[in-house]
Amino acid sequence: MNRRGRLVLGALGAVVVGVLLWEGYKAVGDPDGTMLFGTRILPRTDDGAMPHVWTILSRFGDPELSGGDPIWLVVLQACLFTLRSVALGFVAGGLIGLLLAVLMQRLRIVERGLLPYVILSQTVPLIALAPVIAGWGGRLSIGAYPWQPWMSVTVIAMYLAFFPVAVGMLRGLQSPAPIAEELMRSYAAGWWQTLVKLRLPASTPYLFPALRLAAAAAVVGAVVGEISTGTRGGVGRLVIEYSREATTDPAKVFTAMIGAAALGLAVAALIGFSEFLLRRRRVRA
C-alpha cells in the first residue's frame, strides 16, 4: 500500500514538475526563443508556440468547430479508433515476435540468418515504409471485405511491435542456466517439454519489459502510420489536422498530442496491470 502510495505521489509529482517547467520557462524565456550563435536552441515562448497549460486544458471543453462536439469527445473517439490498430498490432506483433524468438532459439542457423534481418527491419524509416504498406494493402482484400486504411496502420504498428518481443524473448528463452537445461536433458525431456516447463517460465522476467516496449512501439507506429498514410478517424490524423490551425488556434494541436500521450500511458498501464496480476497469482500459488 505504502509503495503504491509513493508511486501515485511520484506520478503526480512528475506532472506538477512538467507543468512548472513549462510555465516557468514561458514566464522567464525570451518570446523569440533563446538563440545561441544564430541558432535557436530553446523554443519561442509566445502564446502561439507555447500556450498556457490552462488554455490547453480549457480547450478540451470547447467544441472542436463552432457548434460541434466538445474537443475531449472528439479526441477520445479518435484515441479509441487508434486503440484498435494499437491493440491488434500489439497482439499480432507480440505473437510474431514470440514465434520468431522460439524459432531462433530452436535453430542456431535461423538465429544467425534471421537476426540481422530482424534488426535491419527496424532501421527502415517508418515514413518511407508506411506508404508502401498502404499501397500494398490497397490491392488486397480479406475475402469479401476490402482492405481498410486502418488495417495498414495496424500492420505498421505490428511491424514495430514485433521487434522488442523477438529480441527480448530470444534472450529470455536462452536465459536458463546450463545446469537447468542438463536437468531437463537428464529427464529425457523433448524440445517442446523443455520449452514449456523451462524456457517459457524462465523468460517471464524478459517478457514484460519487452511487452512494455512493444506497446509503446505499437502506439508510435499507429500514430505515425496514421499521419503518414493520412488515415481518417485516428488521433494521428487529428494531430495533422489541428497543426494546420496552429496559428489561429494554437492550443488545439496540444489537445491531440496529449490524447496520443494518454493513449500510450493507458496501454502501458494495461500491461503493468496484467504483470501485477500474474505476479500476484504466482505468489499465491
- Rounded to a whole number of angstroms, the minimum distance from the CB of residue 196 to another protein is 10
Stretch in the footprint of another protein (CB under 8 A) among 64-72, 126-134, 158-166, 187-195: 187-195
Binding mask 128-167 for another protein (x = CB under 8 A): ----------------------------------------
DSSP-derived pairing of the beta strands 39-42 and 145-146: unpaired
- Is 182 one of the binding residues for another protein (CB under 8 A)? yes
What is the enclosing helix (H) or strand (E) of 146? strand 145-146
CA dist., res. 136 & res. 26, Å (int): 46
CA dist., res. 68 & res. 240, Å (int): 19
- Is 110 one of the binding residues for another protein (CB under 8 A)? no
Sorted by sequence, the CB contacts under 8 Å of residue 259 that are 6+ apart come out as: 75, 76, 78, 79, 235, 238
Stretch in the footprint of another protein (CB under 8 A) among 3-11, 83-91, 182-190, 230-238: 182-190
Q: Using CB under 8 A, pick the residue from 183, 240, 258, 270 that binds another protein.
A: 183
Q: Is the CB of residue 168 less than 8 Å from the CB of residue 210?
A: yes
Closer of 37 and 192 to another protein (Cβ): 192
Site for another protein in 161-180 (CB under 8 A): 177, 179-180
Site for another protein in 14-73 (CB under 8 A): none
- Rounded to a whole number of angstroms, the minimum distance from the CB of residue 275 to another protein is 14
Site for another protein in 193-232 (CB under 8 A): 193, 197-198, 201-202, 204
- Is 274 one of the binding residues for another protein (CB under 8 A)? no
Interior angle at CA 152, CA 148 and CA 157, nearest 5:
135
Identify the bridge partners of residue 141 per DSSP, sorted by sequence position: 146
Give percent helix, percent strand, percent coil of the chain, each to the nearest 5: 75, 5, 20
3-state SS class at 34: strand
Which positions lie near another protein, rule CB under 8 A? Answer: 177, 179-180, 182-183, 185-189, 193, 197-198, 201-202, 204, 282, 285
